Amino acid sequence: MTLLRAFLIRFVTTIVTLFGVAVIVFVVIRVVPGNPIAMMLPPGATDADIARLEEQYGFDKSIFEQFLIWLGGVMQGNFGTSISLRQPVSDLVLGRLPATLELSIVALFIAVAIGGALALTGTRYRDTKTEGAVDVTAGMALSIPDFLWGLILILLFGVLWPVFHISGRISPSLNIDFSTNFYLFEALVRLRFDVIADLIGHMFMPALALAIPLAAIIAQLLKQSLKETMHLDYVTLARTKGYGENYVITREALPNAVLPTLTLVGVQFTFLIGGTVIIERLFSYEGLGNMAIDAVINRDLPLIQGIVILFALLFTLVNLFVDMLYVILNPRLRHA
Amino acid sequence: MRDARGEVRRPIGLRLWLSGGWLTLLVLGALLAPWVAPKDPLMQDLFLGRMPPFWVAGTEPGYWLGTDSLGRDVLSRILYGTRLALIVALVAGTLTCLIGATLGLIAGYYRGWPDRIISRFVDIWMAFPPVLFAILLIAVLGPGLVSIIIAIVVIDWTRFARVVRAEAMSQGAMDYVASAQVAGRTRFGTMLTEILPNVLPTIVALLTLEMGIAVIVEAILSFVNLSISTDSPTWGGMIAEGRTSVHQAWWVLVFPLITLFLTVLSFSQLGEGLKDRFDPVLR
């Protein structure tokens, strides 16, 4: 019962948060001094033309009325029409979402793999120079943001030793007739290995740049909770039973040490998704973030609005998912 | 835990010295730019475009770190770019700190409705991708130094508010605060004389980290060409140009990148070092 109530409260807060985001974006972008409509028309346009288009996009009404109209449309799944691309915002945004999701999820996998490996190594060789090396590596990785890692990777694997593509999502020469925009997922399902290799070749560097700071956080936190778990009685018991150190760490300590890391990874994953905005720009990766920057430069109000709301929705969904996972994985909460 | 930290403690002195040294160098470079910069950072010379740095054959003397595609001196542009980076770090960092820490202190100590309002705003802010939010604000406010500073303050005040709120909350629950109240101190007075001094070390460490973040945000904004006017030298602008010509002229990307890297690393190391030094549990 209490659990259900907790989730209901979370659901309501999520709605309130999304509403707040919508209001802020709406107000912020409508105090822009320039007229976005005037930018759409050729220089010779008359005032009547401008007025007609303003009416078409609803810019002649007050901010409050515009918000109500927009909100009414959103309720029916209509996010308006992009000014610069002249297509429905929902089509544009949903067309780009798969690229960003795939990038974020691949980055998350890389972060968990690197961070987990570092934490396990640090625990296995605790109080030695190896652990010190893990600490220093994680500390360095954490103090440099993803934007700089991206640039460093471009220099390393794009210029010095050019093994990966430094821009784009997929080679245009590649013949793909996929039915979704989840290229990587669909290529995996269809076993198109040429496409998989090409996608990874494009995705690896941006994903790694996004993953490095998160990997560092996972390494630090997981190592700390692993080391604390290693002192508990049941671990000592497993050891006296004659199990080796590797077995004790991975089978006995790890399942109990993972939980505190999980919550933090959830919050940090939202930061990672936020990081895709500039990383996609840096690698000319055709995702939502790259589109967002273009939308801002073109002052495409409906498109900006749609993208920001979608990001906010993603963030809140990730947090909700992590909370639910935490309850499912934590036996103490399950029986509460 | 104490063992693990004990090992890290030794190099703190060196860390602080190195990062402090680099930042001092930057401040000097920024202040003395008109005298130490070998060339005019805006001077173009298309005959000297994409000259490599001094140790590579075929260079023009005086252009130590090479030139960009328009023949502008890379070293001079980095030096002048330092001015913008440091002003943003100092002003935006301090303002963010003042606003965020004040709100966090009030929320954490007064609790009740001020806390509810402030925390709700923090939640809403956490649902924005920060970089996108910053770019959006610059597009609205128009490019310029003041816009950059406003954008950084608006996107990052929550970083201070969240941490300071939690600290103030745990300090507020302690006995010494209760005894100050019993001794007849007002709530506001207690907040300033009892809570604030105990939260201050955290605030100082966060402020140093924030300066590094401000430098990065400014670099990102000038990377997408939304910082100050386009021909003023900025690290981010140089990086953007270097990114497009990385196969023809790597030095246009590498030198501003190294400068930005060392600066961000120095600020964060300084912050970590100060945090360890001030932490009463570790001391």
Rounded to a whole number of angstroms, the CA Rg of chain A reads 24
Residue A49 predicted with pLDDT over 80 = no
User: How many Å lie between the alpha carbon of A297 and the closest alpha carbon of chain B?
Assistant: 7
Distances from the Cα of B93 to the Cαs of A92, B144, B209, B211, B214, in angstroms? 37, 17, 9, 5, 6
Lowest-confidence segment of A18-32, A291-305, B4-18, B89-103 by average pLDDT: B4-18
Distances from the Cα of A50 to the Cαs of A40, A45, A88, A295, in angstroms? 9, 7, 21, 20
**Which residue out of A63, A296, A313 would a mutagenesis test of the B interface target, given it has the greatest number of B Cβ atoms within 10 Å?**
A296
Domain annotation for chain A: domains and CATH numbers: 96-323 (1.10.3720.10)
User: How many Å lie between the alpha carbon of A76 and the closest alpha carbon of chain B?
Assistant: 23
**Contacts by residues B26-33 (CB-CB < 8 Å, ≥ 24 positions apart):** B26/B82, B26/B85, B26/B86, B26/B263, B27/B86, B29/B79, B29/B82, B30/B79, B30/B82, B30/B83, B30/B85, B30/B86, B33/B76, B33/B79, B33/B80, B33/B82, B33/B83
Chain B residues close to A17, C-beta within 8 Å = 123-124, 127
- A334: pLDDT confidence band, cut at 50, 70 and 90? low
Chain B residues close to A159, C-beta within 8 Å = 246-247, 250
Percentage, residues of chain B above pLDDT 90: 39
User: How many Å lie between the alpha carbon of A312 and the closest alpha carbon of chain B?
Assistant: 5
Contact map slice: B 186-225 vs A, CB within 8 A: 212-213, 216, 219-220, 223-224
CATH superfamily of B12-278: MetI-like (1.10.3720.10)
Percentage, residues of chain A above pLDDT 90: 32
Q: Which is higher by pLDDT, A264 or A336?
A: A264
C-alpha–C-alpha distance, residues B134 and B148, integer Å: 8
Report pTM. Answer: 0.88
- A193: pLDDT confidence band, cut at 50, 70 and 90? confident
Residues facing B67 on adjacent strands: B73
b/e per residue A205-236 (b: at least 16 CB within 10 A): bbbbbbbbbbbbbbbbbbbbbbbebbeeeebe
pLDDT per residue as tens digits for the range B219-240 = 999 998 877 766 788 999 999 9
C-alpha–C-alpha distance, residues B92 and B214, integer Å: 7
Cα dihedral value A228, A6, A312, B163, nearest 10: -50
Residues facing B73 on adjacent strands: B67
CB contact under 8 A, B264 and A148: yes
Q: Which is higher by pLDDT, B159 or A29?
A: B159
C-alpha–C-alpha distance, residues B162 and B101, integer Å: 9
CB contact under 8 A, B269 and A143: yes
pLDDT per residue as tens digits for the range A127-168 = 889 999 999 899 889 889 999 999 999 999 988 888 898 888
Q: What pLDDT does residue B84 have?
A: 92
**Which residue out of B243, B245, B272 would a mutagenesis test of the A interface target, given it has the greatest number of A Cβ atoms within 10 Å?**
B243
Residues facing A81 on adjacent strands: A88
CB contact under 8 A, A315 and B126: yes
pLDDT per residue as tens digits for the range B94-152 = 999 999 999 999 999 988 899 999 998 998 888 888 888 888 888 788 888 999 999 99
Chain B residues close to A33, C-beta within 8 Å = 142
User: How many Å lie between the alpha carbon of A21 and the closest alpha carbon of chain B?
Assistant: 6
Given a contact cutoff of 8 angstroms between Cβ atoms, the answer to whether B168 and B158 are in contact is no
Chain B residues close to A276, C-beta within 8 Å = 129
Nearest to A25 by CA among A70, A72, A86: A70
Residue A292 predicted with pLDDT over 80 = yes
Q: What pLDDT does residue A336 have?
A: 46
Residue ranges of alpha helices (H) inside B32-144 are 33-36, 74-110, 112-126, 130-141
**Which residue out of B123, B128, B132 would a mutagenesis test of the A interface target, given it has the greatest number of A Cβ atoms within 10 Å?**
B132
Q: What pLDDT does residue A12 have?
A: 85
CB contact under 8 A, A296 and B136: yes
Q: Which is higher by pLDDT, B211 or A300?
A: B211
Given a contact cutoff of 8 angstroms between Cβ atoms, the answer to whether A144 and B264 are in contact is yes
